[in-house]
Amino acid sequence: MKQSVERIVQAYKMNEKICIYADFDLDGTSGLAILKTGLEKIGFKDVAYYQPRRLSEGYGFHAEAVEELKNLGISLIITVDVGITSFKAFEKAKELNVDVILTDHHLPAEKLPAALAIINPNQKADTSGLGYLCGAGVAFYLLRALKRAFFEDVSLPKNEWDLKEVLEFFCIGTLTDMVPLIEDNRVL
């Protein structure tokens, strides 16, 4: 999480173009809404988004899309609810010098993709105990950490925007992805 937040803060300071790459289901779409709304409310000016077309592209984080995004001037991609098994897309991103922060909740393979950072409570190294979150839930926690970084860093702008504004999206993602309604899922 720390590395992801630091890279997103760097993108803010350098006025980089960011793209949120989300799955096309309601979990991914809810996570996309969480991050896009939150980043813009925090003060990001250039936040694009991409969702693969279900019938023509199918599920996943795709190398062809990475090329397209690079051509549009994107230097940082944040995935939502997708990417944990998309090795070719991460290879393409590395080749094109595009940083990718992978957020997902799906079970990873033994090998992990070569992302700049991976936020997935279901990976072996994770000790958060949040493996019950859906993709939108993981996106919410990233936004929460980013909001805290903006609050704590005196060089970054402050605002009174409240994370509660995106809780409806958290709920939609949680309910439609049918993850357990326990602990933070129930409280939020």
pLDDT tens for each residue of 24-34: 999 999 999 99
State pLDDT tens for residues 110-148. Answer: 999 999 999 999 999 899 999 999 999 999 999 999 999
- Mean pLDDT of all residues in 83-109: 96
Best CA proximity match to 81, nearest among 137, 37, 38, 6: 137
Name the helix (H) or strand (E) containing 21: strand 17-22
Beta bridge partners of 21: 50, 79
State pLDDT tens for residues 25-81. Answer: 999 999 999 999 999 999 999 999 999 988 788 789 999 999 999 999 999 999 999
Largest CA distance in the chain: 46
Global pTM reads 0.96
| E-only strand ranges, 28-116 | 47-50, 74-80, 99-103
Task: Spell out the SS3 assignment of 137-159.
Answer: HHHHHHHHHHHHHHHHCCCCCCC
